[in-house]
């Protein structure tokens, strides 16, 4: 599902116009991005948690030349699904 399909699904589920659903989705993405940039964690109970993990600097290898390279430390956004989302995904179709 791409962003346009997600906006269509949200607009029909929430009975919003596609424009309003698009604005809401864009606002959600913007707020989550800003919070993660500040190092905050966003927890949506039952759905999951967005957070930033630190990845340490490490040695790597250029696959083409086989030369060793240094890979800089970085921050990586992560999503950890909540129990309700995990259960919904793992429930067999047709069962509740």
pLDDT digits (tens, 9 = 90+) for 41-76: 999 999 999 999 999 999 999 999 999 999 999 999
Inside any domain, residue 64:
no
Sheet bearing 42-44, strands edge to edge: 42-44, 48-55, 74-81
Inside any domain, residue 72:
no
Q: What is the pTM of this model?
A: 0.78
Report CA 54 to chain centroid distance, whole Å.
16
In the structure, what pLDDT confidence band is assigned to residue 91 with cuts at 50, 70 and 90? confident
Inside any domain, residue 76:
no
Domain count, the chain: 1
Inside any domain, residue 68:
no
For the cut 60, the answer to whether the pLDDT of residue 95 exceeds it is no
Inside any domain, residue 29:
yes
Inside any domain, residue 57:
no
pLDDT score recorded for residue 92: 73
Q: Which domain holds residue 24?
A: 1-40
Question: Residue 47, SS3?
Answer: coil
Average pLDDT over residues 81-86: 94
For the cut 80, the answer to whether the pLDDT of residue 86 exceeds it is yes
The closest of 32, 12, 54 to 20, measured between CA atoms, is 12
Which region holds residue 20: left if phi is over 0, alpha if psi is between -120 and 50, else beta?
Answer: alpha
What share of the chain has pLDDT > 70, as a percent?
Answer: 96
Which residues on neighbouring strands pair with residue 70, listed in sequence order?
A: 59
Cα gap 55→21, rounded to integer Å: 34
């Amino acid at each position: 599902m791409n962003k346009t399909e997600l906006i269509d699904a949200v607009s029909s589920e929430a009975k919003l116009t596609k424009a309003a659903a698009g604005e809401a989705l864009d606002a959600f993405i913007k707020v989550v991005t800003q919070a993660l940039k500040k190092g905050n964690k966003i927890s949506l109970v039952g759905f999951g948690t967005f957070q930033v993990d630190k990845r340490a600097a490490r040695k790597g290898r250029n696959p083409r030349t086989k030369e060793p390279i240094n890979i800089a430390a970085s921050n990586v956004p992560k999503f950890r699904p909540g129990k309700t989302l995990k259960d919904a995904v793992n429930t067999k179709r047709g069962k509740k």
